[in-house]
Amino acid sequence: MPSPDLSILIIDENRIRASIIEEGLREAGYARVAVIHDVNEVGRTIAQTMPDVIFIDLENPKRDTLEHFFSLSRAIQRPIAMFVDRSDGTMIEKAVEAGVSAYVVDGLKKERVKPILDMAISRFNAFSRLSRELEEARSALEERKIVDQAKGILMKTKGLSEPEAYALLRKTAMNQNRRLIDIAQSLITAANLLGP
């Protein structure tokens, strides 16, 4: 059962990822979700929103700043510690592997926090997967452009058809035990050097 009364703060320099997590938490019924992109704003935000759970991405170099802030008792009324329960190694491990760390106010019951952690971890993982797929798609597109350009050079200089040009690239790559894209790139470089 979600605990919609819990206040959650997300600190992430990556705005897209922060909004994906925020959206996930809101869909799950958590209405009190705040997002900041800079740790420097944390003092003011904590005073305003009194968060029960705080997430920060692990790439954030100001994680040490945040922890120091929590350790200053005068800065906050309620002590905040990392994760729910020190003994819950699996949860901590899952979070760190997903690239997120969670801080929870003292005394909050584990059962109330777990669904929030699960949600954030799964959204972090989904975001990494999407980023990876996007990167792969982008480089695949780049590679296709290079191969097309190399085919064009062969078609023009050797009077080959498109399938013949492609077959020649592929055969050369196999004979030299290199990747097709590398052969295509070499061909373009050579053509630029030798070209008019």
Partner 1 sequence: MSLPHLTAGFLPLLDSALLVLAHELGIAEEEGFTLGLTRESSWANIRDRTALGHFDIALVLAPMPIAANLGLTPIATPMIAPVMTGLGNNAITVSADLWARMADAGAPGDLAAGPAGQALAQVVRSTTRKLRFGVVHQTSSHNYELRYWLAASGIDPDHDVEIVVLPPPLLPEALGAGGLDGYCVGEPWNSVGVASFGARVATTKSSIWQWSPDKAVGMRSDWAEQNPDLVAATIRAVYRAGQWCQDSANHLRAAEIMAAPAYLDRPVEIVSRALTGQIDGGAQQLSIPDFYVPHAGAANFPWKSHGLWYYSQMVRWGEVGFSAANAAIAAATFRPDLYRAALAPLGVAVPAQDLRVDGDRADKHAVPAIGGTIELGPNRFFDGQIFDPDAVEAYIQSQATA
Which residues lie near partner 1 (CB under 8 A)? 58-65, 67-69, 71, 81-83, 86, 89, 92-93, 96, 101
State the minimum distance, in angstroms, from the CB of residue 93 to partner 1. Answer: 5
- Residue 93, class by beta-carbon neighbours within 10 Å (0-12 exposed, 13-18 middle, 19+ buried)? exposed
Residue 108 burial (CB count, 10 A): 17
Distance of alpha carbon 101 from alpha carbon 124, whole angstroms: 11
Give the C-alpha separation, 79 to 20, whole Å: 28
Residue 65 CB, shortest distance to partner 1, in Å, is 5
Shorter beta-carbon distance to partner 1: residue 59 or 182: 59
Tokens for 122? 């799964």
Nearer to partner 1, 93 or 111 (CB): 93
Q: Is residue 117 a contact partner of residue 102, using CB atoms and an 8 Å limit?
A: yes
Cβ proximity to partner 1, 32 vs 62, nearer residue: 62
Minimum CB distance to partner 1, residue 96 (Å): 6
Coil, strand or helix at 10: strand
CB of 72 to partner 1, least distance (A): 9
* Residue whose CB is less far from partner 1, 86 or 109: 86
